[in-house]
Structure 1
Amino acid sequence: MEALKYPIGRFQAKADYTPEELQRFINDIRYLPSLLEITVQTLDQAQLDTPYRPEGWTVTQLVHHVADSHLNAYTRFKLALTEDNPTIKPYDEAAWAELEDVKTTPINVSITLLHALHTRWTALLKSIEGEQWERTVFHPESKKEINLKTLAATYSWHGLHHLAHVTGLKERMNWD
């Protein structure tokens, strides 16, 4: 079950990141919408309604979740760049995945949203310089300050993590 939940492993934050690693995170964020779109474009409705693992979200829920999560991520970066260690707002991801918009909105809407959002987010990330990467947000659930380097690493991992959920499901089901 661990491999189905975390197909690329659990996120492990490092104490610091190199400029090359930050560039890789930016590229991961930049290209995620295209990779996700390519991965889901041939799936029919029954496949989209299939959970990626037992007791997991469906592919549809997962795609909408990535859009929801990355909207929050983009906002967190903007808050960190404009406020002094702002407290970020956690949200109930599982409850969001059960809302009516997830059930009734085609995934291409969230894919389109991801393309637009990641274009803006990438432009923002590319503009961050030097000490700005050390700016922080405060996460009230973990009670930790998180700098922008670690947030970039987190969301790079997050996108690839969910992409691997879908590619793994497609492989297990022989959908290619």
Structure 2
Amino acid sequence: MNIEKLKYPIGKFGKPTIITVDHLQAWIADIATFPARMSSEVLHLTDTQIDTQYRPNGWTLRQVVHHCADSHMNSLIRLKLALTEDKPVIKPYFEELWAELTDTKKMPIHPSLKMLEGIHERWTAILKSLTNDQFERVFIHPEQGKTFRVDENIGIYAWHCNHHLAHITETKKRNNWS
């Protein structure tokens, strides 16, 4: 199989020229439903299955689940910073190094699934309450040298949810796991 398709099973995020209310509603729904969708795909997997890499030299499914908890926790914090500070500079983190820590490589996935439930419940409550002005607030990502708007970041993270979920569902399909 094409390595690019394994790496980006749903393609890369494409930011719309104009972000509409329909985009935002769909993205928020993707974020809101992600924990349940993730749990339904991974809870029945064996340890051997959960320790399978989704692509050669890629993370295991275990690392993907833990990464989502880490990444989405950071995204919620970035959102809160953007809503409460003027153009905050966020703190990047080295996700590839976090993925190598013991909690990500060895721990059961249940703690991260519980984290995702709580993070997404709080995240969704905030997202559904945002005003037009709040969607336009920004944070600065120093590593990328870029300013991100809140509405754009919602789209990026809806994509992120679906991207990593597809790593799991595509791995299950390729291995004929029911």
**Is TM > 0.5 for Structure 1 vs Structure 2?**
yes
Query: Which amino acid is 1:114 matched to?
Result: L
Q: Is the partner of 1:174 in helix, strand or coil?
A: coil
Is 2:10 the partner of 1:14?
no
Query: Which amino acid is 1:119 matched to?
Result: E
Deviation at 1:105, TM superposition (A): 2.1
CA distance in 2 between counterparts of 1:69 and 1:16 reads 26
CA distance in 1 between counterparts of 2:109 and 2:135 reads 33
Identify which of 105, 109, 128 aligns with 1:107.
109
CA distance in 1 between counterparts of 2:36 and 2:166 reads 14
Query: Which amino acid is 2:171 matched to?
Result: L
Partner of 1:84: 86
Partner of 2:135: 133
Query: Which amino acid is 2:128 matched to?
Result: K
Partner of 1:29: 31
TM-score with structure 1 length normalisation? 0.98
Deviation at 1:62, TM superposition (A): 0.4
CA distance in 1 between counterparts of 2:145 and 2:18 reads 19
Partner of 1:171: 173
Query: Which amino acid is 1:156 matched to?
Result: A
Residues 16 and 149, structure 1, Cα contact 8 Å, conserved in 2: no
CA distance in 2 between counterparts of 1:42 and 1:119 reads 23
CA distance in 1 between counterparts of 2:18 and 2:133 reads 13
Structure 2, gaps ≥5 residues long: none
Partner of 2:50: 48
CA distance in 2 between counterparts of 1:154 and 1:99 reads 25
Structure 1, gaps ≥5 residues long: none
Deviation at 1:11, TM superposition (A): 1.1
Query: Which amino acid is 2:131 matched to?
Result: E
Partner deviation per Cα, 1:90-135 (whole Å, 9 max, x = no partner) = 1111100011111332101100110011000000101101111000
TM-score with structure 2 length normalisation? 0.97
Partner deviation per Cα, 1:111-170 (whole Å, 9 max, x = no partner) = 011001100000010110111100000011221111001000000000000000000000
Q: Is the partner of 1:98 in helix, strand or coil?
A: coil
Q: How does 1:60-79 map to 2 (within 5 A)?
A: 60-79=62-81
Deviation at 1:42, TM superposition (A): 1.4
CA distance in 1 between counterparts of 2:161 and 2:105 reads 21
Partner of 2:61: 59
Q: Is the partner of 2:58 in helix, strand or coil?
A: coil
Percent identical: 49
Count matched residues. Answer: 176
Q: Is the partner of 1:17 in helix, strand or coil?
A: coil
Query: Which amino acid is 1:146 matched to?
Result: F
CA distance in 2 between counterparts of 1:105 and 1:136 reads 35
